[in-house]
Amino acid sequence: MRQYIPSLVLLLCLLFFWEIMVRLMDVSALIVPALSAVLLVLWDGLITGFLWHHIWITSVETLLGFVLGCSIGFICGVMLGEMEKLRRLLWPYVLATQVVPKLALGPIFIIWFGFGMTSTVVITALICFFPLVENTMTGIQIVAPEKRDLFRMLGAGRWKTLVRLKIPAGLPTIMAGVRVSIVLALVGAVVGEFIGGSEGLGASIIAAQGMMDSSLMFALFILITLMGVLFYQITLLFERWLLRNWSKGKIL
Amino acid sequence: MTDTTFFDFDGASYAYESGATILSTVDWRIPEGAFHCLVGRSGCGKTTLLKLAAGLMLPTQGQVRVKGEVIKRPSQKVGFVFQTPALLEWLPVIDNVLLPISLHRLVQAEDKDNALELLELVGIADLAKRYPRQLSGGQQSRAALARVLLPWPPALLMDEPFAALDAITREELQDDLLRLVSLRKTTVLFVTHDITEAVYLGDQVAVMEQGQISRIVTIDLKASRGKNFRHENSFSIYCQSIREAMGQKMPEEM
């Protein structure tokens, strides 16, 4: 815990600097509201329950998109890692799903899936998909040659080698992909709500912008950041628990 | 070929597609129950020979027979001990030892008893529930030995299994290995680059150079071999003769 103290002190200094500078320079609340005003709006939103509904919606979209994208990414990663011909055939398309700007796909998803949760979940899933494909594909291919030979000597077939050796051996790499995905998932959900949502924290930012309510916008930024950190930490704890017996490398 | 031949290298050669020859026309027979060592410098083809005997690689010319059968894939008659213990770090020691069984069927209580008995034999029964990361190098090697002995194959192929261990641990493991293989007269082909290890362990020591077996030395003091064998004069003489055999054809010394 002690190693986090300097970061915490820096955060308090920055927040203090924000409050002081806004007051001293008499900055308009529309441009940059004071920290105290933002925290008041945040507190108010939490107390009245106004924000909880949006937190819930964004969390559900994030987690649904995350689970969907990671699951499909994992399955595709295993298939591409195992079948070289398939990898050569499909890799350019997998790459294309990643390099295409997801925001640009938003409008077409709205036509396909309508406004609301489905479009946002699909965008989130698409963003989470790539890190899992990439890391799973790499992870299952980096097994030590001696362990592969061991499984051959023991007469293990392809399926057993995959399930009992390659996937567990690649798990640290796969979990690194999961960790990247959870952060991207929240970004995906918020961006998805920008385009096609009427509920959730992303949609609330757009609504606050419409009302020129900068304090609310800043309050939402803080909330989204805190959620991102929380999701990341939960994933990290899960990863540490899952990989507790893996010998190589210390996780973070 | 006699009935008692276990491994029979019959003109076995191995070359890469690029044409680089690793092994050229190896003819070598290892009788059943014998402990043969293969020494040679790094890159001389020792591991390739071992992998041909295991069926992990196939000769590009000639044949390798195991108990008279031409080997085309890994055989259940042969166990392989690798340079590293190759333990699965996500499984406790007992489950690593049980791997040869759990890969093919459900593990029964009897199998667990057998595995524990083997761990007792290799001296790490008290570490059965530990994970590989919690073991020392020597303990990991013992676990790997127990794993290969669970089905107790009639032959073992060992690829410098103790190379990474300290001298004292290595000597302890050498003694334990000799004790274990004598229990069931297991045939062993043991690859090492350590001449003293080869002389201490082997009934015969073959010297490999540039993809060929250049000399085979019979160590006929097996019966008198004891704790002090390493310090006897005859031991040094054997080591000296093998060292000379290894040095003979080295190009820079010619």
**pLDDT tens digits for range B134-181:** 998 889 999 999 999 998 899 999 999 988 888 888 888 898 898 888
Residue at which a domain ends, from B152, B172, B191: B152
For residues B178 and B233, membership in a common domain is answered with yes
For residues B163 and B238, membership in a common domain is answered with yes
For residues B143 and B162, membership in a common domain is answered with no
Taking an 8 Å cut-off on Cβ atoms, the answer to whether A149 and B82 are in contact is yes
Phi-psi region at B185: left, alpha or beta (left = phi > 0; alpha = psi -120 to 50): left
- For residue B135, being part of any structural domain is answered with yes
For residues B176 and B245, membership in a common domain is answered with yes
User: By three-state DSSP, how is residue B13 classified?
Assistant: strand
Query: How is chain A split into domains, by residue range?
Result: 55-242
Mean pLDDT of B51-57: 93
For residues B167 and B249, membership in a common domain is answered with yes
Taking an 8 Å cut-off on Cβ atoms, the answer to whether B103 and A144 are in contact is no
Taking an 8 Å cut-off on Cβ atoms, the answer to whether A246 and B79 are in contact is no
Residue in chain B nearest A247 by alpha carbon: B133
Q: How far apart are CA B97 and CA A139, in angstroms?
A: 25
Structural contact between residues A45 and A219, judged by C-beta atoms closer than 8 angstroms: yes
- For residue B82, being part of any structural domain is answered with no
Domain count, chain B: 2
pLDDT tens for chain A, 252 residues: list them.
Answer: 788 899 999 999 999 999 898 888 888 888 888 888 899 999 998 999 888 999 999 999 999 999 999 999 999 999 999 999 999 999 998 888 888 887 788 888 888 988 888 889 999 999 999 999 999 999 999 999 999 999 999 999 999 999 999 999 999 999 999 999 999 999 999 988 888 778 889 999 999 888 888 899 999 999 999 999 999 999 999 999 999 888 654 443
Taking an 8 Å cut-off on Cβ atoms, the answer to whether A150 and B90 are in contact is no
- For residue B110, being part of any structural domain is answered with yes
For residues B62 and B162, membership in a common domain is answered with yes
Taking an 8 Å cut-off on Cβ atoms, the answer to whether A248 and B89 are in contact is yes
Chain B, 22 to 61: residues with Cβ < 8 Å from chain A are 51, 54, 56
Taking an 8 Å cut-off on Cβ atoms, the answer to whether A155 and B104 are in contact is yes
**B162: domain range?**
5-77+157-253
For residues B71 and B95, membership in a common domain is answered with no
Q: How far apart are CA A91 and CA A79, in angstroms?
A: 11
- For residue B125, being part of any structural domain is answered with yes
For residues B161 and B128, membership in a common domain is answered with no
- For residue B191, being part of any structural domain is answered with yes
Domain covering A55-242 in this structure, CATH number: 1.10.3720.10
Give the number of A-B residue pairs with CB atoms closer than 8 Å. Answer: 53
Going by C-alpha positions, the residue among A99, A138, A111, A105 that lies closest to residue A124 is A105
Mean pLDDT of B13-36: 88
For residues B45 and B107, membership in a common domain is answered with no
Q: What is the pLDDT of residues B80-106, one digit of tens each?
A: 999 999 999 999 999 999 999 999 999
- For residue B83, being part of any structural domain is answered with no
Q: What is the pLDDT of residues B228-238, one digit of tens each?
A: 777 777 788 88
- For residue B23, being part of any structural domain is answered with yes
Chain B neighbors of A245, CB-CB under 8 A:
89-90, 131, 133
The predicted model scores a pTM of: 0.84
Give strand pairing partners of A102.
Answer: none
- For residue B94, being part of any structural domain is answered with yes
Q: What is the pLDDT of residue B224?
A: 57
Q: What is the pLDDT of residue B254?
A: 35
Chain A neighbors of B86, CB-CB under 8 A:
144, 146-147, 149-150
Give strand pairing partners of B8.
Answer: B29, B65
